[in-house]
Structure 1
Amino acid sequence: MSNRRGRPVFKFLIPYLSMLLLASLVSVIMYQQTSRVVKEEVSSRNQAVLQLAKQQLDRQIVETNQLAISLSQDPRVLAMQQIENPYERSSITRLMELQKQLGSYSAITPSIENYYIHYIKSQFVISPDKHSLLSRASSAEAQSDSVHTFIKGLEDRYYYQEMMPELKLRSANGERRLIPYIHSIGYPSYYLSHIVMFIDSSSIRNALRSIDLSEGGYAYLANQEGDIIAGVAGSGEFLPRTSHNEHEQPSGQFVTSIGLDNGSWSLVAVQPEHIVLRKVYYVKKISAVIIFGMLAIGGVASVLFAYRNSRPLKALIQTVFQLESHNERLHRSMEEQKPLLQAAFLQRLLDGAYPGQKEMESVMQYLDIPLQGERYSVIIIQLPYILESIDMGALEKLDLEKAGLRECIAELEGNHTCMLDIGESRLAMIYSSDTVIEDAWKEELTMKLSAIQELFLGRFQHALQFGIGRPYSSLMDVSASFEEASIALSFGMPSSSPMPYYDELPRHPQSYYYPFDVEQKLLNYLRSGNMEELDNTFGNLFVENFVERSLIEPVLRLLLSELVSTALKFIDQSGTQMFEDESIDMMSFLQLPHGAGEAEACFHRITRLYQHIASKTIDQKRIRNEELMREIVSYLDLHYSNPSLCLPMLSDQFQISETYLSLLVKEHTGCSFTEYVNTKRMNAAKELLSESRLNIEQIADHVGYSSLNSFSRAFKRMHGVTPTHYRALSGQ
């Protein structure tokens, strides 16, 4: 008996301990993976910070190199190299001009704290704000100005764009951390001066401080030889003497590095490993406590689970039932809403409200609407029951018959049809078919409608009336089939034929063809001046009303009145003064014809009226565009010197789209907006270069260029010579 009682304990104990051991193994693996992921995350984060510092340093190096090249090529700088005493009377003017020229470079080098030129022959140092001779500097001056001391202590050798380790330099603005940059003017075998610049390293150090450098961490910039150029430490001023390599991890440290684009520099971050993995160590400690605790209580827990094993299973089953019940309620709620959404979709489809096939197909897929086939048509079904007053009994009877009709259709054609209630006693059925041949399609549909009629008649002892529109190959044309079904139903009631097809309507109908969508098309064609589509639409109206139908004179008079009314509606909406045009007598169109021959002639006159209105619309558009273009040209003539002038700015100014504005400028000037503005600016620049004494930079600013380099490139691209050369050729 005791063995039987011990068996459940034993059975639960072995699997539970196995699971604990497996969990322990998983925890060890997870710890290793977490450690790797955390290291990768920290490395990635550090890489991002170093990348930001790299971008800032790259930008500063580019600015510094550009300034060094500009100074090396400046004639005023080069002229001072051969002067032994710059303070002689004959050299004072050159000295002042050089200092002024140096000051002009300060505005384009925001990252450079200051820069100096050291002339070796004269032992003369000059900067944008001061100048002096090294040999005449007093000891007091040297102590007060550490920049002066640094320059005096330079080695007598050739320097090429060389950065030196960061220094604490004293100046008038106090003590600053700056990176010296030295570039010799000349060649390794022959040089007469050095350019000494001091780069502000605060932005680089601020970027490096974004890394967690606590408890002995540090980050720095090093050159190719491993010398530290600049850096920061988490505490104190400690920095290593030599740099580290990311692939050679020092014991207990985590190193992240990134190289600059030229390969001569590297940015390195060094962090204590326990700082990087502090979260992992915490997880490790917690996991160990949990695992050993679970192992300790595993034996006791297995006994309890042996006697209470049914409770968790019961709770689990109950939870599954609750989830299943919740899922069923959610599914029912969605199914309850689906008929409303399907009805809204079908109504928009019949109204022709969908702009494209793709949007319509996505909605159909979501709502599970079964309309798949080669041809689509609309059948309007009229129940033989018309309400003359509000009667609850009659309403209930009508609803019952509608429901019965839906059941009849679902039994016979549920997979190829969709139904929509469109009135008290009418339903619209959208029918899809794979039959392409017209006669076969009509025979197939007639058989199916006859079966529906027979089934409904057997249940409710009432016959149905149908109106059938023509089939179309696209669902986008279902709205046209719906209009045709409405017309067919109106002709079929109270005809003896219960299934009138639109294309089988009698040849002598008592109603003309001019549906609402055709009127809207005519109005749109008048607004756009589309003569071709206008002629096609009138051609279709003529065939439909004068060829296919033999309309009686009163019906023709109504059709012509509707056409004239549409034209007057457009004239009233657009404000076109058509009545003042002597070439068109509007009163003649208001006089209705007497006889079919006169009606046809009147129809052609109305066609010419629409053509004349469309022509006047085109002329008015052309006049408006010409007036608008004159305003645009006038605006550009006044504002071409604005550096911010662009297509979006002009579009906002005249309240028209950028695309239309670009096409308008291209149409009237023969060139793009950018080409037109650049031509205006270059013509003005040529005039200023030839007739004014403004310098090139002032002329560039005057014609709308914020950058002298951009102006020079644009001028040379258009005229083949630089602005300076052009001025020389013009004799100015």
Structure 2
Amino acid sequence: MKRLWSKFSPVFRRFMISYLIILMIPQIAGYASYKASIEVARTSSIENSLKSLNLGKEIIERNLLQVEAFTRQLAINQDLYRLIADPKPLDSNNVYGVGRMQRSLSMYSSTNDYLSHFFIYIPNYNVIITPTTVFYRPEHYYAANQLEGMTFEEWREHILKKPHLNEIMPLRNYKREIRNNVLVDAPAITFLQSLPLNSFNKPQATIGVMIDEDQMAGLTQNIVEQYGGWTLVTDSEGNIIFSRGIDGAEAERLKDMPADKHDKVTPMGNGRLLISIKSDLNGWNYAAGIPESALMVTADRVKQVTFTFTLATLGLGLLIGLLLAYRNSAPIHRLLSVFREQDIALPGKIRNEYDFLASNITSLITNNHLLETALNEQLPLLRDGFIKRLLTGEFYTTGELEAISSQTGVSLRSSRGFVGIVKVDGYGRPDSGEIIQELSIARLIVRQALIDWDSDVLVTDWGTDQIAFVHSVPGEHEQTEEALGTFEAELQSLIASVYRDYRVSTRIGMSSPYHVWNDIGRSFNEARQALEYAIHIGTDNMVRFEDAVKETEMYYYPIESEQRLLNTLKAGEFEESSRILDQLFSRNFEERELSYDMTQQFIMELKGTFLKVAEPKILLDESLIEQFKSRVAAVLTTDSVTVLQDKFNQLTQDICLDVQRKKSDMHADIMNEIIHYIQTRYDDASLTLYRIAEQIGKPEKYISQLFKEHTGENLSEYVELVRINKAAELLRESKQTVDEIAVQAGYNSAHSFRRAFKRVRGVSPSAFRQIEDNGGRS
């Protein structure tokens, strides 16, 4: 055995001893893996809880923002403004005005669960309006909606008469009437806002929105059901908003927990962890308590897998050790052979082969550094700087790009191509001079190989262990795609030869094609993302940007996209609405891999957006509104993505067509009103665009553009034509003088009338009358 062992090279024996030592401690490795698995399972459960708690927080805050937006929208509501600001009409109760306001409020409660129960107090009439009815005495409303611990007088003084600005009352029970004279306790917070928004003394109206505890707490119910924990939400003053999974006494004890600006996980004792999130929007503190025992379920399964794996390594360890020892010693042994062929002997002071290689490689690196420094002092330094600026997208004009490329001698063959980045593997952290020097040699080898392969490739170092390159290809778009396959195959072969000849291991990230020079910066960022993905998954193969990992956690539906979709639907802009809808489906189902739950939530959010469009101000009649609501409700989250997208696209098309039809009808009515007003008031010399716009109740620019679109002529030209036609009729049928006719036609002076008449009819008024008289006699 000793004789057989002596036949192996010293390098191989050292590697093999190292692997044998590793094989003697598999149990320690298994234990460490088990401990790590516990921590990973625990961390994963905590992250899931944080995500669930944060998702509930975001939805609650979004709904609260919509409640604030609701109050701002009411602040500019003309019906409400007339009720709170205009003098009282003859009808002291103004039944018509109040009733119309109540009917308009009934639509808000269907768009947001948080707006299912609210009221508006109008001191001008001493009435309270709700989405379902009107209380002409506040006492009647309070009798059906009593707040716990507050008398009617206190409620009137502190709620109705006191000014409020986005004020939220802490959680209290209030009596809600579910049917005639049947009241139940319903815990809720109360959002208060005075109108006008800038009222600081005596408000002209007060808006109160009661948000039930169950509507908010249901968003964090998953933590209670999945882990058997509890959730608690308090405001910035420490008042309880809602709680789940704990009784009232425990909630009161926990409500004074200190809040942090960042997500926080701390042990509570009794085998529980406390997770807390503080809202940047309103300072609310969202907290959840999770039993640590619930976090260990996954860890127990991992323990069994780890134990089985540890036993398997005992059997395979020896074989793997032999293979790895040979694989790692072979390149070193080959390098030693090369040095011996060059008559470089092992000096006596060097203890082993590693020191020998290190000394010679260090010498080689030093000489290479001196050569590289000398070269970089000249043109290559400028060339390298130009390539780096090209990669970072610092060129904004083609002229600047061409000017600097000519100065540095860089040839720009084509404006199409690809960007890649190569990372040299096999080295630790570059925290020593020797590692940095070895990395420099490896980079130089890869860089030279790229230049030898294609002299027109633009290559530059990027950091200590990466090389970026730009490869342009001639031809059109289709040829660019075809060239990508050939280019990747040749590059793979080149990197394989570098590894075979020099044992330099690399990873490559490739971008999608660019089609203009100014787009190279974007392609370089894509290449870096592809490289990061290659490192993350641990592959040695080339990775394209299109193969990078897509987001898989949360659905994409920001409030800005929802608002843009709502605005385009209300405006009847079908193309823009379809583009936004297609973008949302692309971001959620092409760029992400949503879970079933996330898909359901996204579709429900999208259905909610479409339900917000179902308003009388947007759709034509109530039957159409109910039909549209039924169609939205018929959209099932279990349908395929293609079916869902088709249904929403069809809804979008129908809404836009209806809005456009409504606009067309409205425009026709306005046009008829404009024409009728001009026909009846043409004799008024002060009849101008401003007067017409004031009569119609629309802006001047709107009136002018609408008239131009429907008639093809300017409004002022039409007014002049009506006046001249009437004047021509008077000239034919009456004996009045030209001056008298000018006044009746709406002109301030006979001179301006004569000029206008000649401009329209081609002759003066006197000549026109003479022609008509001669024609009549003949």
Normalization by structure 1: what TM-score? 0.37
| Greater C-alpha radius of gyration | 1
